[in-house]
């Protein structure tokens, strides 16, 4: 704090506040500043935890909501190769009875005994019943056209006595010999396969983006509160010290004058700095100071009168007068 020096007679010298002197009454200033900072910190932390708890709940709910929006499934290639969707009816199960005539475009219907074995449909677009009356070798070749089945004759049916013999005479047993065969199937991709895959992954990416955005929003709230809280606490600490300094400053100044008065010196009292508080209190102090100075002046007047009268009466050398002179000198010096 700046020391008191006599300067302008008006008593309105302007002191500049220095940061070094900000804390001049630790007990008072720290108590009020720390209380203010403590309350703020408590509120920020307490309500901050509450905010984060609710924000976490909101994030969880929002994520659940996003998860609830089902993305279109990626079609399985095997299903597509079968050429039907899940909603399509299943393919007809071929009969295991050789005497049954399968449905389909048939020309000449052979006798039941001569009915060939119907192979299972291999792929979409195949013609499973192109030549029902033909031997299985021919049928297999017909059933896998366009080179999809380049296998050798797969089976030979030895239907002994099938032609020209009466069904009633012949036993119904037939001998079926199935040779080793192989078949290569090439899946046929449905026309909307690509669009469905793209739609699926767009949905997945959009959901992932939404999750990330929600997490970012939650983190933003957390960081915003932390930064705001720290800045608020620091700002309040500085502001609190400055605010209490405007009270502690006048008290410090009055304290300096009190020390001087205790030592018997009644110097001129200067005004407070601009912005200081306790102006009324300081006015009271100035009046008190003035009152004490007036007491000294009254003493000086009386003492001077007595000393002058004593000197006029020829008692100037009296020890009592000498003592009064000393007293007068001290009092005059005290109010210089």
Decide: 322 and 306 in contact? Cβ < 8 Å.
no
DSSP 43-108: HHHHHHHHHHHHHHHHHHHHHHHHHHSPPPPPPPHHHHHHT--TTSPPPPPPPS-TTSPPSS--SS
Judging by beta carbons within 10 Å of its beta carbon (0-12, 13-18, 19+), is residue 116 exposed, middle or buried?
A: buried
Query: Residue 64 or residue 96: which is nearer to another protein going by CB?
Result: 64
Question: How many other CB atoms are there within 10 angstroms of residue 281's CB atom?
Answer: 14
Which pair of structure tokens corresponds to residue 25?
A: 């009454």
Among 22, 101, 134, 306, binds another protein (CB under 8 A): 306
- Min CB(276)–another protein separation in Å: 11
SS3 263: coil
Which of these segments, 42-50, 114-122, 172-180, 188-196, binds another protein (CB under 8 A)?
42-50
Query: Residue 185 or residue 298: which is nearer to another protein going by CB?
Result: 298
- Min CB(264)–another protein separation in Å: 6
- Min CB(19)–another protein separation in Å: 21
Among 167, 215, 305, 329, binds another protein (CB under 8 A): 305
Which of these segments, 16-24, 110-118, 136-144, 296-304, binds another protein (CB under 8 A)?
296-304
Residues 209-268 that bind another protein (CB under 8 A): 221, 225, 232, 236, 243, 247, 251, 254-255, 258-259, 261-264
Q: Is the dihedral of CA 96, 102, 103, 105 positive or negative?
A: positive
Our finding on whether 288 is near another protein (CB under 8 A) is yes
- Min CB(30)–another protein separation in Å: 12
């Amino acid at each position: 704090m700046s020391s008191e020096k006599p300067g302008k007679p008006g008593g309105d010298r302007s002191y500049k506040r220095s940061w070094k002197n900000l804390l001049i009454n630790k007990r008072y200033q720290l108590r009020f500043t720390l209380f203010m900072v403590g309350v703020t910190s408590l509120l920020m932390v307490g309500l901050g935890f509450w905010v984060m708890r609710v924000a976490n709940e909101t994030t969880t709910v929002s994520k659940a909501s996003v998860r609830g929006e089902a993305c279109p499934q990626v079609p399985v290639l095997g299903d597509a190769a079968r050429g039907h969707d899940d909603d399509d009816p299943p393919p007809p199960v071929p009969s295991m009875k050789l005497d049954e005539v399968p449905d389909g475009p048939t020309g000449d219907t052979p006798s039941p005994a001569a009915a060939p074995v119907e192979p299972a449909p291999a792929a979409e677009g195949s013609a499973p019943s192109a030549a029902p009356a033909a031997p299985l070798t021919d049928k297999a070749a017909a059933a896998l056209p366009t080179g999809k089945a380049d296998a050798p004759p797969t089976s030979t049916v030895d239907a002994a006595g099938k032609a020209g013999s009466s069904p009633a005479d012949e036993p119904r047993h037939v001998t079926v010999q199935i040779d080793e065969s192989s078949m290569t199937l090439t899946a046929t991709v449905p026309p909307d396969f690509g669009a469905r895959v793209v739609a699926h992954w767009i949905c997945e990416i959009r959901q992932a983006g939404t999750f990330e955005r929600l997490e970012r929003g939650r983190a933003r709230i957390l960081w915003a509160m932390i930064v705001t809280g720290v800045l608020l606490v620091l700002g309040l600490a500085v502001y609190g010290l400055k605010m209490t300094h405007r009270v502690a400053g006048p008290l410090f100044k009055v304290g300096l004058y009190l020390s001087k008065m205790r030592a018997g010196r009644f110097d001129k009292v200067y005004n407070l700095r601009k912005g200081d508080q306790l102006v009324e209190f300081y006015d009271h102090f100035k009046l008190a100071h003035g009152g004490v100075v007036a007491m000294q002046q009254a003493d000086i007047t009386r003492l001077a009168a007595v000393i002058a009268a004593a000197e006029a009466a020829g008692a100037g050398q009296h020890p009592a007068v000498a003592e009064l002179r000393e007293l007068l000198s001290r009092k005059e010096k005290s109010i210089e």
